[in-house]
């Protein structure tokens, strides 16, 4: 992947993880351009198949494109940052620390990528108190 392509993905995402919405400048995680459809499943190095992602989300997603929604018990596609609208599938809890899944896809993505993992909750709490979370993207 070229540095120019990586920079485009980063800029498009306003330097936020497109899954957990961590802000790169306020995170200790390294971020990278993640393949939404993994290379091993034929995903290409193209803007439409790349999402800016923190290390934690990238690690938990790994090569998955589907996951089980624990409420409907159905295997569903994971949230696709290029094809899906974030607000259709997720919202913030009232205190903005937790992501809440509004759909099977949202819930399955939260589960698979562990979008409410402890480190993120703590970071969101602190950043919220500082008035810089959630990011306006
Ligand atoms: Zn993330």
Distance CA 84, CA 130 (A): 30
pLDDT (average), residues 64-83: 97
| 65 CA distance to ligand 1 middle (Å) | 16
Q: Residue 125 pLDDT > 90, yes or no?
A: yes
Distance 72 CA to ligand 1 centre (A): 25
47 CA distance to ligand 1 middle (Å): 18
pLDDT of residue 58: 97
User: pLDDT of 35-49, one tens digit each?
Assistant: 999 999 999 999 999
- pLDDT tens by residue, 93-110: 999 999 999 999 999 999
Q: What is the pLDDT of residues 51-65, one digit of tens each?
A: 999 999 999 999 999
User: What pTM did the predictor assign?
Assistant: 0.95
Ligand 1: centre distance to CA 42 (Å): 23
SS (H, E, C) the chain: CCHHHHHHHHHHCCCECCCCCCEHHHCCCCEEEEECCCHHHCCCCCHHHEEEEEHHHHHHHCCCCEEEECCCCEEEECCCCCCCCHHHHEEECCCCCCEEECCHHHHHHHHHHCCCCHHHHHHHHHHHHCCCCCCCC
According to the model, what pLDDT value does residue 136 have?
Answer: 79
At 137, the pLDDT band (50, 70, 90 cuts) reads: low
CB atoms under 10 Å from CB of 2, counted, come to 8
Distance 121 CA to ligand 1 centre (A): 12
């Amino acid at each position: 992947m070229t540095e120019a392509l990586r920079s485009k993905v980063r800029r498009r995402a306003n330097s936020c993880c497109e899954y957990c919405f961590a802000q790169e400048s306020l995170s200790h995680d390294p971020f990278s351009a993640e393949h939404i459809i993994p290379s091993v499943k034929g995903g290409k190095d193209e803007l439409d198949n790349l999402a800016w992602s923190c290390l934690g989300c990238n690690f938990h997603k790994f090569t998955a494109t589907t996951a089980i929604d624990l409420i409907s018990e159905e295997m569903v596609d994971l949230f696709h940052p290029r094809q899906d609208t974030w607000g259709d599938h997720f919202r913030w809890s009232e205190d903005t620390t937790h992501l809440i899944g509004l759909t099977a896809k949202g819930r399955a993505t939260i589960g698979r990528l562990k979008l409410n993992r402890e480190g993120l909750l703590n970071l969101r709490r602190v950043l919220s108190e500082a008035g810089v979370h959630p990011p306006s993207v």
